[in-house]
Homo-oligomer: A and B are copies of this chain.
Amino acid sequence: MIRFSKATQDMRASAIRELMGLATRSDMISFAGGMPGNSLFPVEELDSLYSRLSVEAKQTAFQYGPTQGYPPLLDSLGRYLQSLGLPMEGNGLIVTTGGLQAIYLTAKVMLDPKDVVVTEDPTFVGGIAAFRSHRAVLNGVPMDDDGIQMDLLEKTWKRLPSRPKLVYVIPNFHNPAGVQYSRERRLSLIGFLKKHPSVLLEDDAYHELYFDETDNETVRPIKALAGETIPVCYVGSFSKIFGPGMRLGWLLSPKAIHAQCELAKQSVDACSPTFTQVLADRFFREGYLSQYVKRIRPVYRRRAEAMLKGLSESMPETVTWTLPKGGFYVWVTLPKHTDATDILKASIERGAVFVVGKTFDPRGRRNHCFRLAFSHTPEDKIEQGVKIVAEAVRRFV
């Protein structure tokens, strides 16, 4: 009797909910959720920040804030983004309710039904959900170890029914693929988009999570390299450098797009949570953020190493995986005839869980691959869990 909107037909129950459930089961070793480990959160820093908030600051934190964001946070965030080499001139900054909302708002102001979006394949499940909920047509382009494959991008572009409104990429420590774009690939993509106009949506949620401190130059955003030559909407997130429960991200975008996104946000949730914006601003301003990421980088590196070591020791020879230089993920590719859903079932029986490949396929099909997240599991558990997954793989490979 209730007639839903056409958009609901294009929304697809993702595996996320089910897997979030599995991820939090204490009897399961979880490589499922793309989340920091609970024990890594900066609780002491939070206590220290909270204890020094004035009554006035707390009152502000209780109150509505401007749609664009809490002004001191816009200020500290702006200085941080400038330090990454991002062009601030000609662009507007908005604090969003998580990085996902930055993607959602861009989709909302850009996409009509049947509009084309080019993504990497695989890509972030939240991005797929945001584009599909605007009834866009998604076209995935495979990656190699240096990023999106330019020849395949060119080929895809030629056979599209219309010029893509958006090109969505995750150049640093890709979710789910664990790949980092080389500098050359970043420049190639900029060159391509100069000739083939579209809006680049750059998702840099994992920017700060390089394993090796000497790698801090390799993460330079495409928007920083491109300057004003192509329109780039740059998405970031506090989820990996403070906490996902704060629900804070940002969008730095060309002024015309920025103005529409601000308007769109007034219809979506009016403003991002002031309470957590006040805390995030202090976290930045008092230098906790840079100390915190320095502390967690080696933790994630050790976890990645434990996972890679386990995979080398236990996986059959026909299975391959990416070698992340940062972030949360390893992407595992199986022989073509295998189905990751079978392997997941077998793995759950033995007590380890991960996310199957089709979750990240823009068309929701390809499934001879899966994502392992090492971010929220200590090394000894990783060792145990990888053995379980490898045993499950061996049953089908």
Chain A residues packing against B (C-beta within 8 Å): 1-8, 11-14, 16-17, 20, 33, 35-36, 38-39, 41-43, 46-47, 50, 55-56, 58-67, 97-98, 100-101, 104, 108-112, 115, 126, 129-130, 132-134, 165, 197, 199, 231, 239, 242-247, 254, 256-257, 260, 262-264, 266-276, 278-279
Contact of B65 with A245 in the complex, beta carbons under 8 Å: yes
Q: B267–A247 contact, CB under 8 A?
A: no
13 contacts between A and B (CB under 8 A): A2-B110, A5-B111, A5-B112, A11-B260, A11-B266, A62-B245, A63-B244, A64-B239, A98-B269, A101-B269, A245-B274, A268-B268, A275-B275
Known: A2-B231, A264-B11. A20 touches B269 (CB 8 A): no
A5→B245 contact, CB < 8 A: no
Beta-carbon nearest neighbor of A44 in chain B:
B55
Cβ contacts under 8 Å, A268 to chain B: 100-101, 104, 130, 133, 268
Question: When A58-B41, A63-B35, A64-B244 are in contact, do A165 and B112 touch as well, CB less than 8 Å?
Answer: no
* Contact residues in B for A130 (Cβ distance below 8 Å): 267-268
CB of A258, distance to nearest CB on chain B (Å): 11
Q: Using Cβ atoms and an 8 Å threshold, which residues of chain B touch A50? A: 50
Does B5 lie within 8 Å of A269, measured CB to CB?
no
B256–A11 contact, CB under 8 A? Answer: no
Q: Are A58 and B46 in contact (CB under 8 A)?
A: yes
Contact yes or no, B243 A63, CB < 8 A: yes
Residues in B neighbouring A56, C-beta threshold 8 A: 38
Contact of A110 among B5, B111, B270 (CB under 8 A): B5
Contacts A36-B63, A97-B273, A104-B267 aside, 9 further interface pairs with beta carbons under 8 A come to: A2-B199, A2-B231, A4-B109, A5-B134, A17-B262, A63-B243, A101-B268, A247-B272, A268-B268
Contact of A100 with B38 in the complex, beta carbons under 8 Å = no
A41-B59, A129-B266, A276-B273 known; A3 vs B165 contact (CB < 8 Å): yes
Check B245–A61 contact: CB distance below 8 A: yes
Q: Within 8 Å CB of A39, what residues of B?
A: 59
Known: A20-B66, A66-B17, A97-B97. A247 touches B266 (CB 8 A): no
- In the complex, the chain B residue whose C-beta lies closest to that of A376 is B63
Q: Are A273 and B246 in contact (CB under 8 A)?
A: yes
- A11-B260, A268-B104 given; A243·B110 CB < 8 A: no
Please indicate the chain B residues that have their CB under 8 angstroms from the CB of A46 in the complex.
58, 62
Which B-chain residue is minimally distant from A256 (CB atoms)? B2
Cβ of B16 and Cβ of A266 under 8 Å apart? yes
Q: Which residue of B lies closest to A278 (CB)?
A: B245
B2 touches A245 (CB 8 A): no
Closest CB-CB distance, A34 to chain B, in whole Å? Answer: 9
- CB-CB under 8 A from A6, the residues of chain B are 112
Judge whether A245 and B275 touch: CB under 8 Å: yes
B269 touches A247 (CB 8 A): yes
Assuming the contacts A64-B33, A66-B17, A245-B275, asked whether A7 and B266 have C-beta atoms less than 8 A apart, the reply is: no
Residues of B within 8 A of A43 (CB): 55, 58-59, 62
**Minimum distance in angstroms from A259 CB to a CB of chain B:** 9
Q: How far is the CB of A326 from chain B (nearest CB, A)?
A: 20
Residue pair B8, A260 in contact (C-beta under 8 Å): yes
